[in-house]
Structure 1
Amino acid sequence: MAIGDPSRSATIAYFNSLAGPAAANGTIEPQSVFPERSSTADNAEGSVDPAIDALRLLRSAFPASIARASLPLRRGICADIAERLPELDPAIVDRALAIHVGHSAYLRSIAAGTARVDLDGNEVDVVTVAEAANAHQRLDRLAWRRAARKAAASKVAAPPEAKRLSITGLRAAARNRAARASAPP
């Protein structure tokens, strides 16, 4: 995305629309690109987190790399993004990339010897064995957390199973109900 590129202008316009009055002069101020939102009414996409908005922008601005979760990104890609989109707050870009690289599809793509790509989708480096092992550990932790959440949800959501009575138990329960009904209050 070059400086005079129309898609860059569209990207800047998109961020200006998100920034609202802070970007009324047509430029983005780094600290006000993503104002904190208290409700989803402020954003047509419904996002409350500015990092999600930044990730959407990065995916639209760099479809050859960030839009594809199955491609490992080059080490130091934040510097490349800061160079191409200097108007973005680096802290928010870091959070957006953390969301991207923490996704299970991205982590599954990290295998030893797999090519890493730059913002244009060009192969620039390869994934090391240590990086692949780290990604595998992170996937295991994600799977463990997902299973723990699912188990906790099933404990809360499932009503206790009723004890099934035999015919003798049913007769005893009926006698107890009859006795309670005939007893004076």
Structure 2
Amino acid sequence: MNTATATPDVAPSLSPRALLKKLQADFPVFRDSQPLAIGIDKQLLARLPDIERKTLRVALGIHTNSLRYLKVMEKATVRFDLDGNSADEVTDAHRAHALEAIRERLKKEADKRRAEKEAAAAEHAAAEAERQRTEKMGQLLAKFGRNS
């Protein structure tokens, strides 16, 4: 006799990324990165009571900090609930926050690329200096090494 119980739609042990993938599959508002209604976490917990709050909060953080979501938020005027219905207005402060987050992220990425480029240039310069040193040592050895 099989005593296993049926697994719920959302296993409590889902990782935040796996939960986010499920939310994107189940709710167009997540899939389309539409601005989420304030309190969407409460709506989700009501519909999916088996999910862990902490996992949900992390998944929502990943989603709302994604560049795609921030770009949508920057221009949005309305937030949406899980069913895609208009919920709240997106405030100027929230649009400004999204714009600032985008700017910071792009600056950070540009700084990282610049640092990588500088590191590669320094590595190339060091390799070139080592090549020249080895070449010079070879020349000196050729010139003075045979008379020993």
The question of a shared fold, defined as TM-score above 0.5 by the shorter chain, is answered with yes
Aligned length: 134
Whole-angstrom CA distance in 2 between matches of 1:135 and 1:99: 14
The runs of 5 or more residues in structure 2 that have no matched partner are: 130-134
Determine the structure 2 residue equivalent to 1:114: 77
Q: Is the aligned partner of 1:67 residue 2:67?
A: no
Structure 1 residue 153, shift from structure 2 partner: 2.2
1:183 partnered with 2:147: no
Structure 2 residue matching 1:116: 3-state secondary structure = strand
Give the alignment of 1:9-20 within 5 angstroms.
none
Quote how far apart the aligned CAs of 1:113 are: 5.9
The C-alpha deviation readout for 1:107-150, integer Å capped at 9, x for no partner, is 11114661111111111111101111111111111112211221
1:127 aligns with 2:90: yes
CA 1:105–1:32: 2 relative to 1, 3 Å: closer
**Separation in 2, partners of 1:150, 1:156:** 10
C-alpha spacing 1:113/1:140, structure 2 compared with 1 (3 Å): closer
| Structure 1 residues without counterparts, runs of 5 or longer | 1-23, 35-49, 164-172
Q: Which of 74, 81, 90 does residue 44 from structure 2 map onto? A: 81
How far does the alpha carbon of each residue in 1:91-121 deviate from its partner, in whole angstroms, 9 at most, with x for none?
1111111111101111111146611111111
Aligned CA distance change for structure 1 residues 139 and 27 (closer, same or farther; 3 Å)? same
- C-alpha distance 141-178 of structure 1, shift in aligned 2 (>3 A): closer
2:5 maps to a residue whose letter is N
Q: Is the 8 A contact 2:11 2:50 kept in 1?
A: no
**Cα distance 1:183–1:92, how it changes in 2: closer, same or farther (>3 A)?**
same
CA RMSD for the aligned pairs?
Answer: 2.6
Partner amino acid for 1:25? T
Structure 1 residue 99 corresponds to structure 2 residue 62: yes
Specify the code of the residue in structure 2 equivalent to 1:127. V
TM-score (norm 2): 0.77
* Matched residue SS, 1:130: helix
Higher helix share: 2
The one-letter code matched in structure 1 to 2:20 is L
Specify the alignment match of 2:18 in structure 1.
53
Corresponding residue SS for 1:110: helix
**Percent same amino acid at aligned positions?**
27
Assess if the C-alpha contact under 8 Å between 1:31 and 1:89 holds in 2.
Answer: no
Q: What is the rounded CA distance, in whole Å, between the counterparts of 2:18 and 2:105 in structure 1?
A: 23
Q: Tell me, in whole angstroms, the C-alpha distance in 1 between the residues paired with 2:138 and 2:38.
A: 73
- Cα distance change of structure 1 residues 150 and 113 upon mapping to structure 2, 3 Å threshold: closer
Q: Report what 1:143 is aligned to.
A: 106
Q: Could you say which residue in structure 2 is the equivalent of 1:46?
A: none
Report 1 or 2 for greater relative contact order, CA contacts < 8 Å, sequence distance ≥ 6: 2
